[in-house]
Amino acid sequence: MKATCSTAPLHNVRLRGFTLVEMLLVLAVLAVFAGMTVPAVMRMFGQQKLTGSAERVRSAIASARIRAIESGLIYQFCCEQNGSRFVVVPYELDYASSSQGGQAVGVKTLGRAYGFLPKTIVFKSVMVRNAGNLTPAASSYKLSMPSLEGLPNAGDLASVNWSSPILFHPEGSANVDAEITVGDAKSQQILMRIRAFTGAVTMDRLTERKR
């Protein structure tokens, strides 16, 4: 007995498509998913940006200590409170200039460094320890042109109101215990601590700033 089979003409086969309601439902699910994941991804990028910025500042502070040790000169780290700029320059040129009628004494240095934080990230606070208590650092310090010689936009940097300098001595110590905080516009911040005795700088984990 022969088996028989029948096939329907291809033009009679119906292909079921998506209805408008089904397409709208899929789009709604995708929108909800994007609304849940995009903020988390953006937050992660923001945290990485802030952490990278703080690491740049920590490296600059550490470099001031190294330059002081290698050159035998006092170096200073200065930053712009509520701003984004920071510098590492010799301090003894400023001292010589102020103590000798504005005539700077030339000294051999190991260079200067200048940097700035990315947009939306600033130096939130600079605190120094006086008589055992942390107090806000003054923010009206000026750098002399000889100290800034060779840096881009030296004229602009000379007009900036810097926070009180943190000095690093040739033996590796700093002049004061200090805490520097960098933060963004989303209440996230990172604290860096400088120990006067050793001149070492450490960086805390990222935290949420209290509103």
DSSP state of 179: E
Higher-confidence position of 165 and 208: 165
List, as one string, the DSSP characters of 66-91. Answer: HHHHHHSS-EEEEE-BTS-EEEEEES
Q: Give the angle 32-33-34 at the CA atoms, nearest 5°.
A: 90
Average pLDDT of the residues in 172-186: 95
Position 77 scores a pLDDT of: 98
Average pLDDT of the residues in 40-63: 88
Residue 164, pLDDT > 70, answer: yes
Average pLDDT of the residues in 154-158: 94
pLDDT digits (tens, 9 = 90+) for 53-112: 999 999 999 999 999 999 899 999 999 999 999 999 999 877 665 555 545 445 555 589
- Domain boundary assignment for the chain: 21-208
Position 105 scores a pLDDT of: 47
Beta bridge pairs of residue 208 = 188
Q: HSE-up of 162 (CA within 13 Å, CB side)? A: 20
pTM: 0.76
**What CA–CA distance (Å, rounded) separates 15 from 118?**
55
Q: In CATH terms, is domain 21-208 a member of 3.55.40.10?
A: yes
**What CA–CA distance (Å, rounded) separates 154 from 113?**
11
Mean pLDDT score of the chain: 84
Average pLDDT of the residues in 172-197: 96
Residue 12, pLDDT > 70, answer: no
Pick the range with the lowest mean pLDDT from 1-10, 59-68, 175-184. Answer: 1-10
Position 186 scores a pLDDT of: 82
Residue 5, pLDDT > 80, answer: no
Average pLDDT of the residues in 101-128: 79
Position 3 scores a pLDDT of: 52
Position 34 scores a pLDDT of: 62
Residue 140, pLDDT > 90, answer: yes
